[in-house]
Structure 1
Amino acid sequence: MKKVIEYLIFSFTIIIMSSCNNDRVEMPVDYKNEEIPLNFPKEFPQANYFFAENKPTKYGVQLGKKLFNDKRLSEDNTISCSSCHLKSNAFADNNKQAIGINNRVGMRNVPPIQNLAFMKYYNWDGNKLDLAEQVIVPIITHEEMNSSILNVIGKIQNDKEYIDLFLKAFGDKKITAERIFNSVAQYEYTLISANSKYDKVIRNQGEKFTENEKKGYATFQKKCAICHSTALFTDQTFRNVGFPYNPDLVEEHGRARVTGENADYMKFRVPSLRNIEYTAPYGSFGQFPTLKDVLDYFDKGVLDAENLDPILKENNNRIPLTEEEKNNLISFMKTLSDEEFVKP
């Protein structure tokens, strides 16, 4: 009798396990979700920790790209990630501040999406360290998509294309929040920009700076490279550089919104200058229409503050620039444009 009971228990266990693994049985015979080899430029810093935990795979990236372009992520099915992050603008847009559903205006300027595997922080105030965790922010933000991850799952859970992709990307058909976030992050990790004229000059690949670009590079190294350093053209620090405040946003505190520290008030993440030609307007809420406007502002003098960056304080709250230096700087910054990266 004991053996019969043991046999029944064993058989029942096998049935339950088989039932739980039905999705896996449906996997294609030739299925192989290979990791995508990414060509990391040797000049770039090491990829961040979270990238190593969520490396892009063939089907993970396909799934992430589909989600990135799906308007069903928003409450009223009108806004996708790609609605604001336009490829032709290095995955930024030309609005001062993000525009969400029902033309709601967001708090800040849309940042470009490039070289994210190498970043330590995401968003202007650096409130996310893991790119996969950043994905939820626009989905739930009232001024952007104003939705929830449960709503998103409900909309796509019966979509045959999604079911197939989740199966191929993760080994079964379960559609979960974590898988959605990870796949979008995997797609964004593949958006590497490192093929500008500047890169070709530095790598001796047949390009040369013009005289104006060469002079601009010299000025850049002298007056800009402290903050816009490394091959990413950002040191990834947070600084108050005395930019004008947004009078319509009394709740804007910059990095202090994350840390709660007065010393971080109106500090923002130093942006990368790569593809800067495509990402106007500039500043945390699009304060400056053109690069010339940014340089003019630094030249004339920035807003004073107790925590103003020491580099500015030591120079009477300004970065003095002649008109020639400004023009040459702009010429140099345009060499950071990666035309292949922004092609449709």
Structure 2
Amino acid sequence: MVKYCMLLAVTITLASCSDTTTEMIPIENPEIGFTIPANFPEPNNAVYNNMPTQYGVELGKQLFFDTRLSTDNSIACASCHIPSNAFADHNAQGIGVEGRVGLRNVPAIQNLAFMNFYNWDGSRLQLENQPLVPIITHEEMDSSILEVISKIDGDDTYTELFRNAFGDDEITPERIYQSIAQYEYTLVSANSTYDAVMRNEGASFTESEANGYATFQQKCASCHSSELFTDQSFRNVGFPINPSVDEAGRARVTGDMNEYMSFRVPSLRNVAYTAPYGSFGQFETLMEVLDYFDTGVIAADNLDPILKNNNNRIALTTQEKEDLLAFMHTLSDESFVTE
């Protein structure tokens, strides 16, 4: 990866009795080394147009944890995307200002640089286009980008951060979105027990974990594929349906009813930290998810063919379920949730 430094100019005015002298002092804002973990796909093309930099990431993190992004200064991005929960939370559906309940479960934020779609329905193709969504959504922050700018304009910390990140202290919507995305691009998780085993770093699976991995490859990996543990497709897997009239899954974006109640396949990395599960938290535990697949899902014309061709179920024995749970816990990256 080519590394480069952005040279930013800070103007310092030196006053004397007779004249004023202006000196330009360059500030380095180097790219943060972007290491692609072994066997990961190439990053989303948008990443290369907004590579994380030292001060861009610092600014994005400051914004991510700032409650002033919400209308009543009570909710930050990090209020729902909690680091110790793999940047998800433990509510069935997101909870915003004044306790308002959102439409969907809060998705984990990890390895976003390698994703081609964002949100459950894939409504955003670039991460830089996503931060505005929670800011303006009534059930989330219920604010506006102009309101956010008015709150942080003149804040000395932000003045310095914007200057260091972009060369001057002008606060614009685009700079806010870019810096938040830069911070989120750095949230890479690839240091689990599973990764250590795959990299031959001296770790090994227990018998149950190994059996679970074999079952996973046979019965789960068609959808939860690659080192991201998602093929990034949209599928109707026959889960209980959200009763909200506002929900239609992927069809809400495309208008194509063949994609009704289809959702982006979630990554299973750090899945042990992100209960409850499903697009609106239908299942409290992973075992409930496995039991549901085993006993049979809701039939639908657009039910995923993998299920439709197998009597609307994924048959699992009790032992296979226990082993699958053991394997999925090997996807937990403790270093990621404790940073």
For residues 40 and 67 of structure 2, the distance between their equivalents in structure 1, rounded to whole angstroms, comes to: 33
The equivalent residue for 2:54 is: 58
For residues 202 and 24 of structure 1, the distance between their equivalents in structure 2, rounded to whole angstroms, comes to: 47
For residues 210 and 300 of structure 1, the distance between their equivalents in structure 2, rounded to whole angstroms, comes to: 28
Provide the TM-score with structure 2 as the length reference: 0.93
Q: Secondary structure at the match of 1:138?
A: helix
Q: Secondary structure at the match of 2:25?
A: coil
The equivalent residue for 1:255 is: 250
The equivalent residue for 2:32 is: 36
The equivalent residue for 1:86 is: 82
1:272 is aligned, of 267, 270, 276, to 267
Q: Secondary structure at the match of 2:287?
A: helix
1:150-299 map, 5 Å: 150-247=146-243, 249-299=244-294
Displacement of 1:40: 1.4
For residues 66 and 342 of structure 1, the distance between their equivalents in structure 2, rounded to whole angstroms, comes to: 18
In structure 2, give the amino acid aligned to 1:161.
T
1:101 is aligned, of 83, 97, 109, to 97
The equivalent residue for 2:315 is: 320
For residues 318 and 297 of structure 1, the distance between their equivalents in structure 2, rounded to whole angstroms, comes to: 8
Displacement of 1:24: 4.9
Greater Rg by CA: 1
Q: Secondary structure at the match of 1:32?
A: strand
Superimposed CA distance per residue, residues 28-85 of structure 1 (whole angstroms, 9 cap, x where no aligned partner): 7251011000221021000011101100000000000000000000000000000000
- Give the length in aligned residue pairs: 321
For residues 315 and 127 of structure 1, the distance between their equivalents in structure 2, rounded to whole angstroms, comes to: 30
Displacement of 1:246: 1.7
Sequence identity, in percent? 64
Structure 1, unaligned stretches of length 5 or more?
1-22
Q: Answer 1 or 2: which has greater strand percent.
A: 2
For residues 282 and 120 of structure 2, the distance between their equivalents in structure 1, rounded to whole angstroms, comes to: 14
* Pairwise CA RMSD: 1.0
In structure 1, give the amino acid aligned to 2:269.
R
2:138 is aligned, of 132, 135, 142, to 142
The equivalent residue for 2:5 is: none
For residues 298 and 29 of structure 1, the distance between their equivalents in structure 2, rounded to whole angstroms, comes to: 62
Q: Secondary structure at the match of 1:31?
A: strand
The equivalent residue for 2:19 is: none
Q: 1:116 to 1:130 in 2, by over 3 A?
A: same
For residues 162 and 242 of structure 2, the distance between their equivalents in structure 1, rounded to whole angstroms, comes to: 42
Displacement of 1:180: 0.1
Structure 2, unaligned stretches of length 5 or more?
1-8, 13-22
The equivalent residue for 1:304 is: 299
Provide the TM-score with structure 1 as the length reference: 0.92
